[in-house]
Amino acid sequence: MTADHDLAARRDAALGRSYRLFYDRPVHPVRAEGVWLHDADGTAYLDCYNNVPCIGHCHPRVTQALATQAARLNTHTRYLDETIVAYAEDLLALLPPGLDRLNLTCTGSEANDLALRVAMQVTGGRGVVVTDWAYHGGTVAVAGISPSLVPQVPGHVRAVAPPNPRAQDMEAEAARFAQDVAAAFADLSAAGHAPCALVLDTILSSDGIIADPPGLLRGAEAAARSAGALVIADEVQAGFGRIGASFWGFARHGMQPDMVTLGKPMGAGHPIAGLVLRADLAEQFGRETRYFNTFGGNPVSCAVAQTVLDVLREEELPQNADRVGASLQAGLRDLATRHTEIADVRGAGLFIGVDIAVRDDPDRPDPARAAALVEGLKTRGVLLSTSARAGNVLKIRPPLVFSDAHAARLLDALAAELSALA
């Protein structure tokens, strides 16, 4: 038995069945920096998948900020603390006026859970509308609004088909989506579930990465509002500059959500997440109940999150995402002219989906080929994964320090693997 085999067996025995590993033969990284993961044998993998270390793996300023604050003080949010308040002010300044209160949590799941709690309390309703293959987290409440996770969503939830990114007329498709959202709220009301919230991942990441055209989600937002529901933008995947200089997925679409949930890249691997909400909602919620999270937003977490914001801005990483993302998409489109199994290339910034279909039949997803590409790319030293209900969309979501040279490396490996599989 090899050492990795042994570790995998111990992992199964200790962690159990709900824990999945990537890859037939799992990767076992032992250190990382920038966009590279290194395994014990010295193999380097180009990380085209991890959105959490947004400013690059093991960024020295992050590890320094973490160590310094951990050596000085780590308590919680119930003492006066400059680091926490200064971070909240800095972060809120990156959101539009009106979204001006921050609640700090440890995970995106907790942020969405809290958003639902606020929405249910403020609206008095429970009816929630989400997209067909959404993922919003793992608590009971948010697993229930994550059709990609649970076999069946509960009765107070309706899942609607996301916009089809390959529709001929995207305006008509956006209108169809908005009508479906309206119909879902009407259906919920008829079933006794008053409207509560529309929850949207603003890049529709697990639905297959659907970004264009900007404005695509605004009709749905308006439909939710006319139904009397609040709008929750889940920025756990799209947020913090991944989709480019507009910084937030909702901003790229010109939406005005009532609440915004944050996570993953916020602490570049350190567990900090949050809910940004309208002051009046926070006021009403805070009058009637309270929120405390033992670890959420502690001074160490805030020192780390502050450093992430500083580096994102100083290194102009959202702008880099726009620039490198656009040329990577162009390179992928060029590949599509030679490999007709690429039915579509789409995304925003450094969040890109490559739709793999049966060759010359773009409407028939080919998840088997997508999975084979992911495995084959790993053997070529490139890590990525898949998304969408059918599992046929390659999901490219590297740290934002991804350069043109890294993109060229990915394109070469993908071209070679597409040819090898052909």
Query: Is the preceding omega at residue 97 within 30 degrees of 0, hence cis?
Result: no
Closest among 166, 87, 144 to 388, alpha carbons compared: 166
Using the rule CB under 6 A, is 182 a contact of ligand PMP?
Answer: no
Shortest spacing between CB 263 and ligand PMP, in angstroms? 4
User: Does residue number 237 form part of the binding site for ligand PMP (CB under 6 A)?
Assistant: yes
Binding piece for ligand PMP, criterion CB under 6 A, among 69-77, 162-170, 234-242, 356-364: 234-242
Q: Of residues 377-416, which lie at the interface with ligand PMP (CB under 6 A)?
A: none
Residues 394, 92: Cα–Cα separation, whole Å: 33
Return contacts of 134-138, CB within 8 angstroms, 24+ apart: 134/159, 134/199, 134/200, 134/201, 134/204, 134/206, 134/207, 135/201, 135/205, 135/206, 136/108, 136/109, 136/112, 136/199, 136/201, 136/234, 137/107, 137/108, 137/109, 137/110, 137/112, 137/113, 137/236, 138/109
- Give exposure, 377-400, as e/b (b: 16+ Cβ within 10 Å): bbebebbbbbbbbbbbbbbbbbbb
Residue 51 interacting with ligand PMP (CB under 6 A): no
CB of 80 to ligand PMP, least distance (A): 28
Q: Does 56 bind ligand PMP (CB under 6 A)?
A: no
How far apart are CB 144 and ligand PMP at their closest, in Å? 13
Q: Is 108 in the site for ligand PMP (CB under 6 A)?
A: yes
Residue 193 CA to residue 255 CA, distance in Å, equals 25
The least CB distance from residue 23 to ligand PMP, in Å, is: 18
Would you count residue 240 as binding ligand PMP (CB under 6 A)?
no
Cα dihedral sign for 237, 242, 248, 249?
A: negative
Is 135 an interacting residue with respect to ligand PMP (CB under 6 A)? yes
CB of 264 to ligand PMP, least distance (A): 6
Our CB check for ligand PMP shows the closer of 108 and 241 to be: 108
Which member of 47, 173, 180, 201 binds ligand PMP (CB under 6 A)? 201
Could you say whether residue 112 binds ligand PMP (CB under 6 A)? yes
CB of 27 to ligand PMP, least distance (A): 19
**Least spacing, CB of residue 136 vs ligand PMP, in Å:** 5
Going residue by residue from 286 to 325, which x/- string records binding to ligand PMP, judged by CB under 6 A? ----------------------------------------
On whether the CB atoms of residues 240 and 247 are closer than 8 A, the answer is: yes
Q: Are strands 273-278 and 259-262 parallel, antiparallel or unpaired?
A: antiparallel
Q: Within 10 Å of residue 33's Cβ, how many Cβ atoms? A: 14
d(CA 394, CA 345): 9
> Closest CB to ligand PMP among 173 and 234?
234
Tell me how far, at minimum, the Cβ of 198 lies from ligand PMP, in Å: 14
Minimum CB–partner distance for residue 346 and ligand PMP (Å)? 17
Task: Confirm if 299 and 74 have CB atoms less than 8 A apart.
Answer: yes
What stretch of H or E contains 185?
Answer: helix 170-190
User: CB-based burial of residue 13 (10 Å sphere; 0-12 exposed, 13-18 middle, 19+ buried)?
Assistant: exposed
Number of residues that bind ligand PMP (CB under 6 A): 15
CB closer to ligand PMP, 237 vs 320 = 237
Tell me which H or E stretch contains 110. helix 108-123
Q: Which stretch binds ligand PMP (CB under 6 A): 16-24, 108-116, 156-164, 302-310?
A: 108-116
> Nearest approach, Cβ of 236 to ligand PMP (angstroms)?
4
Q: Which is nearer to ligand PMP, 249 or 331 (CB)?
A: 249
Interaction of residue 234 with ligand PMP, rule CB under 6 A: yes
Who's near 164: CB < 8 A, 6+ residues apart? 173
Pick one of 236, 308, 350, 401: the residue that binds ligand PMP (CB under 6 A): 236
Distance, CA of 129 to CA of 304 (rounded, Å)? 34
Residue 137 binds to ligand PMP (criterion: CB under 6 A): yes
Q: Kindly state the smallest distance separating residue 6's Cβ from ligand PMP, in Å.
A: 28
Helix (H, G, I), strand (E, B) or coil at 161: coil
- 250 scored as a contact of ligand PMP (CB under 6 A): no
Among 34, 257, 263, 297, binds ligand PMP (CB under 6 A): 263
Q: Which residues bind ligand PMP (CB under 6 A)?
A: 107-109, 112, 135-138, 201, 205, 234, 236-237, 263, 273
